[in-house]
Amino acid sequence: MSAIATQFYPESEAARLRGLYGHLSGHALLEALVHNELGGQIMLSSSFGAESAVLLDLVATVDPTIPVIFLDTRRLFGETLRYQKTLTDHLGLEDVRIVHPEADTLLRLDPDDMLFNEDPDQCCHIRKVAPLDNIMNKMGNLGFKAWITGRKQFQATTRDALPVIEADVDFIKINPLADWTSEDIKQAFLARNLPPHPLVADGFKSIGCMPCTSRVAEGADPRSGRWAGRDKTECGIHVARRPSLSVV
């Protein structure tokens, strides 16, 4: 466990912050937390997916120097990689950190890039969970205490009770858009003239790795196009993190 984790208690801190700011959301929540509580100790992870521009825009207006972690799994759509560059420039984000899975691990465990079909959980682990865990441990050692996510209650039944502030193993998670609706997201895109992900117009409502992302029927659960046909709804990133993860 990182040194900071021995001195920092996410459960009690999350409870304290909920008592002070749990009634806020969106820009108001971020502004209060960044300027009153967590300046220099907060980061963001983003997939640069279908709805990501809204949260990234809020972060950029509060503090464009907040680190943004982008996981390039080596299986993303080309459109996502180009969108990441477009959106970074458009919003003036100053500290986007691109993280990749370890090349040796991919060569050993997924040499033909077909692990997604044989064992999607392990594929997500080596391409997403383990690389993110590695950088989060490093950032924890640097004193970062809070992690901003773009999760929302409406996205899936597994998220319908999501709070705006919660505790993870060694971080506080901040979910500024937790109580936003799909209409709120749509209106934010229009009000701020945010560039959309190019695949949204083609029917992709939640965008992850190319092999495990499909189009979604109008009115369906936005995440139903992720791992369609499988008993899987999350990649594992937002399952409570362990202090360290191994790749076997």
pLDDT tens, residue by residue, 39-51:
999 999 999 999 9
Q: What torsion do the CA atoms of 74, 198, 133, 175 make, to the nearest 10 degrees?
A: -170
Distance CA 59, CA 63 (A): 6
Residue 151 has pLDDT above 60, yes or no: yes
Q: Taking all residues of the chain, what is their mean pLDDT, rounded to a whole number?
A: 88
Distance CA 146, CA 76 (A): 26
Superfamily (CATH) of domain 3-201? HUPs (3.40.50.620)
Query: Helix or strand or coil: residue 18?
Result: helix
**What mean pLDDT is predicted for residues 22-38?**
96
Please give the pLDDT value at position 5: 41
Domain ranges within the chain, ordered by starting residue: 3-201
pTM of the model: 0.86
Q: What is the DSSP string of 215-241?
A: ---TTS-GGGGBSTTSS----STTSPP
**What mean pLDDT is predicted for residues 67-72?**
96
**What mean pLDDT is predicted for residues 113-130?**
93
Residue 16 has pLDDT above 70, yes or no: yes
Residues with a known catalytic role: 235
Question: Which residue in 207, 235, 33, 9 sits closest to 120, CA to CA?
Answer: 235
Residue 220 has pLDDT above 90, yes or no: no
C-alpha distances in Å from residue 203, one per residue of 37, 133, 154, 236: 40, 31, 18, 24
C-alpha distances in Å from residue 139, one per residue of 95, 135, 238, 240, 244: 14, 6, 17, 17, 13
Tell which wins on pLDDT, 248 or 126: 126
